[in-house]
Structure 1
Amino acid sequence: MHKQLFVLLSVLAALAHAWSFSVWTKTGYKGKRRSYFDVQASNGCFSLPTDITRPGVHSFKFCSMAYTRCSITMHSAKACGGSVLGSATAGGPTREWLKSSVSQAGSRMKSFRIQGCKKVPLAGNLDVSKCRGE
């Protein structure tokens, strides 16, 4: 019985992303989209491609599962340089930050950093409907 539960939790964990972040070039989650996600709760900096940054980021969705507690900062320059345009600190049970329309300054986003992710053993209930790839 315990072995079956462990296998089930392992399968469910593989389906859930530790964090996900999607950006769109138009408001209302329309236009060109670029999605990033990670199942391993990795930290790092990600630069957005020119086909997204040229028209600008006009909407986004960020999600972090509670068991990873990942946070995000958005930057005005590539390689997480420039000024911080916005940030979200992870909290529980699931941290979601949905912006169907961003500010003029926010639309100049060129990169983002995922940080503070915790790699912890999975236990308890996982809501695999959250933080799935778009």
Structure 2
Amino acid sequence: MNSSFNAYRETLAKQVVDAAYTIHYKLGPGLLESVYQTCFCYELSKRDIQFLQQKKVSITYDDIEFPEGLRLDILVDDLIIIELKAQENYHPVWEAQLLSYLKLSGKHLGFIINFSVPLIKNGIKRMVL
């Protein structure tokens, strides 16, 4: 990948993190995941960032394509996968899930963002494949 592509992806990644900080600052923890998803998408829209919600991604297994293989919470500009959570307890399986999503979708950067934490910096996990 060329440096201008990487720079653009990093600019998007910074905007993703900033959107999470903004939402957490304004709303705090303790709400439903759907509330955070709505606000997150609104923040992306305010920043003129393209995204898709509940993006279906087909998977291929044994040379058979399954159209309903994955459903990504948010796909930012066809580059970054966002998995939103609103859970008190962190589950390591979320990392395995995101890594699988990255691998199966052909993407290289993703974030787990869990809003149910006192400090949002402790709720953001960046993963690169």
Same fold (TM over 0.5): no
More relative contact order, 1 or 2 (CA 8 Å, 6+ apart): 1
Using the size of structure 2 for normalisation, the TM-score is 0.26
> Quick check: which has more Rg, 1 or 2?
1
- Larger fraction in helix: 2
TM-score (norm 1): 0.26
Give the number of the structure whose residues are more often strand, by fraction. 1
